Amino acid sequence: PVTHYEQFFAEQAFNLDQLASTLLNEIAPPESEISFRRKLLQDLKRICQQLSPTAKLVPFGSLVTGFATASSDIDCVFFPGSEVTTEDEFTELPSLLEKKLQEEGFNAQLLTRTRVPIIKMVQKPTAENPQEIQCDIGFRNHLAIRNTHLLLSYSECDARVKQMVLVIKWWAKKRHINSPYRGTLSSYGYVLMILHYLINIVQPPVLPNLQLQRIPENTSDDEIYHKQGENIYNIWFSQDTESIQPSLNTSTLGELLRGFFDYYSYKFGWGQSVISIRTEGGLLSKQDKGWTAAKSRAANTVDGNETWEVKDRYLFALEDPFETSHNVGRTCNGPGTYGGVRRGIFFDDMVKLTGSIAGVARIRDEL
């Protein structure tokens, strides 16, 4: 017999499904915008090659995973060509490229106080493309490309991954909780939250754990390990998504979204747990990882004097699948976590988003 609860849950899922299917028609950016971004990327590549003729500019992030929405930025990495031989030459490249881009008329700014140097660029709206486009250029960042491919492989395993990501990204933007520079979580963080739910929580699972598949015998060490400075990272995952068995889970998108909100509202242990999608079960404890107290570290100010600033917070602990010492949730500050990403919003939206068709329509318009 169907209980009242079950009936209520089914209604919630049905309502969410309605919301999701209208949204999905609206939020995917038109093909013209994607091709405009690709063209911009080609122009940038040409400029990079003026500095180093065999340099490469490799895109990553949502342009590659297919998780792009209308407001998505372009993320790319600059890999210098063989002309750049010394570390000193490499160190100079970011500021040289910044100058070059400015000469070419781009609004470009090099940020050096970030974890890694990064050039932020803005392409003002043009007749051809009426939307402003943000572009980030990083330097020699292999792991970003690798995690992009991991996300892409998961997306290839099941069509519901991309649909769910687009809906959650839409929701997070509407709620203003998708701004890592303003105390909340990056899109990448939301994708990891979704993957954890789909790999480890929903039953039967929608996704296998690609990092825990058997490593084929002829795999070379380079495909398993990546060395960066002092650190060695295990970067292996199965890219052979063709041979992965389709999921036995037949849930609708609405049911999965309902389950996602339900999990993060009522079940996930925000205080003590670390989301770790590489790990069997998907969870570690903050205690075991030593991710408990906020750590401070010295930061150089412009005039060279050392100051201390809080670098690592563990209000929301979300382990990077390859750089396991890195907390992707680190960008979440107190207000962003408690008033935004964490329980308040999830609980609130769980009730509002799923309550009734009328509620869904209202949320769509008002959020």
Give the binding site for ligand ATP (CB under 6 A): 60-62, 65, 67-69, 72-73, 75, 144, 147-148, 180, 186-189, 320, 328, 331
Give CA separation, 257 vs 19, 279, 316, 317, in Å. Answer: 11, 23, 21, 21
DSSP structural state of residue 263: I
Examine residue 33 and tell whether it contacts Mg ion (CB under 5 A).
no
Examine residue 73 and tell whether it contacts Mg ion (CB under 5 A).
yes
Taking CB within 5 to 8 Å according to partner kind, which of ligand ATP, Mg ion, none is near residue 328?
Answer: ligand ATP
Examine residue 61 and tell whether it contacts Mg ion (CB under 5 A).
yes
Examine residue 75 and tell whether it contacts Mg ion (CB under 5 A).
yes
What whole-number distance in Å separates Cα of residue 333 and Cα of residue 351? 25
- Which residue, 115 or 267, is less far from ligand ATP as judged by CB? 115
- Which residue, 67 or 237, is less far from ligand ATP as judged by CB? 67
Taking CB within 5 to 8 Å according to partner kind, which of Mg ion, ligand ATP, none is near residue 67?
Answer: ligand ATP
Residue 132 has phi, psi (to 5 degrees) of -65, 140
Taking CB within 5 to 8 Å according to partner kind, which of ligand ATP, Mg ion, none is near residue 147?
Answer: ligand ATP
**CA within 13 Å, CB half, 250:** 0
Of the candidates 323, 26, 36, 321, the residue with the CA atom closest to the CA atom of residue 153: 321
The nearest distance, CB 2 to Mg ion, in angstroms, is: 43
Taking CB within 5 to 8 Å according to partner kind, which of ligand ATP, Mg ion, none is near residue 349?
Answer: none
- The amino acid at 229: G
The nearest distance, CB 256 to ligand ATP, in angstroms, is: 19
Per the DSSP assignment, residues forming a β-bridge with 60 are 75
The nearest distance, CB 145 to Mg ion, in angstroms, is: 13
- Which residue, 120 or 352, is less far from Mg ion as judged by CB? 120
Per the DSSP assignment, residues forming a β-bridge with 58 are 77
The nearest distance, CB 147 to ligand ATP, in angstroms, is: 5
Of the candidates 255, 344, 184, 199, the residue with the CA atom closest to the CA atom of residue 12: 255
The nearest distance, CB 114 to Mg ion, in angstroms, is: 15
57 burial via Cβ count (<10 Å: 0-12, 13-18, 19+) = middle
Q: Is the peptide bond before 94 cis (omega within 30 degrees of 0)?
A: no
Pairing relationship of beta strands 74-79 and 133-139 according to DSSP bridges: parallel
The nearest distance, CB 73 to Mg ion, in angstroms, is: 5
- Which residue, 78 or 188, is less far from ligand ATP as judged by CB? 188
**Structure-token pair, residue 178:** 């998708």
Of the candidates 28, 51, 160, 162, the residue with the CA atom closest to the CA atom of residue 103: 51
With contact defined as beta carbons under 8 Å apart, do 354 and 333 qualify? Answer: no
Query: Minimal CB distance to ligand ATP: which residue?
Result: 61
Separation of CA 175 from chain center: 17
The nearest distance, CB 111 to ligand ATP, in angstroms, is: 14
**Structure-token pair, residue 279:** 């790990």
Taking CB within 5 to 8 Å according to partner kind, which of ligand ATP, Mg ion, none is near residue 257?
Answer: none
- Which residue, 76 or 360, is less far from ligand ATP as judged by CB? 76
- Which residue, 61 or 354, is less far from ligand ATP as judged by CB? 61
Q: Which residues bind Mg ion (CB under 5 A)?
A: 61-62, 73, 75
